[in-house]
Structures are given as C-alpha cells and as structure tokens.
Amino acid sequence: MSKFGELVGLNVPVLIDFYTEWNEASVKMHPVLRDVASAIGDKAKVIKIDVDKNTQLAEALRVKGLPTLMIYKKGEMLWRKSGEQNAESIIAILEQYS
C-alpha cells in the first residue's frame, strides 16, 4: 500500500490497470495499454496491477469489475472506468491531465 502511494503521487498522470490473467476483457486490454504507453511516452506512466496478487489494494479501492482503469496525479484520483477501453480514448484522457 505504501508503494502504491508513491506511484500515484507523481507529478505526471499515472494510468493504473487493475486486471487478472483469467479475465478475458483484462487480457484484451494488454495490447491496448502497450499502445497507450508507447504513444504517451514520458508524459504519463502506465502501471498494471494484478488483482489476484494485490487483493487488499483492490478491496480498498473497491475494484469490482475488470479491467478497472484509474488515472491519478499528485495522489488524487482524476478518472476511473471499468471495462474495455480503446487506446485513442485513454490517450486523449491522459493528455487532458498532463
């Protein structure tokens, strides 16, 4: 949990993907997030968090649906959405907060 605080406390937007390897929609998001990370470069960070390995964090943030995407900046959650998203939408949202 303390490491999570460090991650989301950055001065750039941090996109967090809560996923599992057994959830089909989560797996479909892997290439989308790779595209987002390469397009956005160092203007933002993309971090994947496996819900099965981080159950306490997922419960604390009330992650129910998968995948759940969140954008934080300077410790504040700015955006949250569950379900599959496309790269263009995510990039546009990240650029809005950078």
How do residues 7-64 score in pLDDT, each as one tens digit? 999 999 999 999 999 999 999 999 999 999 999 999 999 999 999 999 999 999 999 9
* Residue showing tokens 């995407």: 69
pLDDT at residue 43, as a whole number: 96
Q: Which domain holds residue 10?
A: 3-97
| CATH code (residue 43) | 3.40.30.10
Q: Is the pTM of this model over 0.75?
A: yes
* Residue 28 to residue 47: CA distance in whole angstroms: 16
- Domain count of the fold of the chain: 1
